[in-house]
Amino acid sequence: MLTVALPKGALLSDSIKLFRSVGLDFSAFLDSDNRQLQISDPTKMAIALLVRAQDVPVYVEYGQAQLGIVGDDVLREKKPEVAKLLDLGFGYCRMSVAVPQTSPYRRAVELPPHGRVASKYVNSAKDFFHQIDLPVEIVPLSGSVELGPITGMSEAIVDLVSTGRTLKENGLVEIDILYESTARLIAHPLSYRLNQDDLATWVDKLSYVKI
């Protein structure tokens, strides 16, 4: 039986809509009274796991799920051993460098060498600043990275941005974009190669769906 890892949060609704369009209904996850983390499709053709977005590629890489949906930002940050199959087009956001509106810096390359940059996305931040040949100290935070510049702990942040509202409300502005991200369909490499659980057919069906 096919097992799919679905991400909690912003991508869940569109992910469920995507699978519903090919005959798999996991909409029970949208019921606020539902506390189940694993459900079966009514047709009994597939099972879905509801996990944190960052954990989707882990479940797929370790073979507990054959397919998964996750943002490209997670794939770039975690670099999991999974097969990246489809750009699903929804869940757009961007990874950006931001500074206080009062900052004199308006491009990432203008930041001071060996300055501090706060981020939850340590690997993405390190890769970016290595590419532009600017040595900085990445300060790892697990939440509210906007407080880094506000408190003076860092000159800048690297964070995921969708509307930009949070940055604006905290007096920050984007000065560079590392990359843009959308939701991706991923698969367990060996399962996909061997076409276990008829993966090729499901992927083909999903490739024609537009959300």
40-79, pLDDT tens digit by residue? 999 999 999 999 999 999 999 999 999 999 999 999 999 9
- Which amino acid does the sequence have at 142? S
Percent of the chain, pLDDT > 90?
93
Reported in sequence order, the residue ranges of 24-104 that DSSP labels E, i.e. its strands, are 38-40, 46-51, 67-71, 83-87, 93-100
CA dihedral angle for residue 204, residue 206, residue 207, residue 210, rounded to 10 degrees: 160
The reported pTM is 0.92
What mean pLDDT comes out for the span 97-115?
96
2-16, pLDDT tens digit by residue? 999 999 999 999 999
- Find out whether 119 and 157 touch, Cβ atoms under 8 Å: yes
Band (211; pLDDT cuts 50, 70, 90): confident
- Find out whether 147 and 166 touch, Cβ atoms under 8 Å: no
Mean pLDDT of the chain: 96
* CA 4/CA 69 separation, integer angstroms: 8
Percent of the chain, pLDDT > 70?
100
139-161, pLDDT tens digit by residue? 999 989 999 999 999 999 999 99
* pLDDT for 115: 96
In the chain, the domains with their CATH numbers are 2-91+182-207 (3.40.190.10), 93-181 (3.40.190.10)
177-199, pLDDT tens digit by residue? 999 999 999 999 999 999 998 99
Structure token digits, residue 123: 């690997």
- Residue 121, pLDDT above cutoff 90: yes
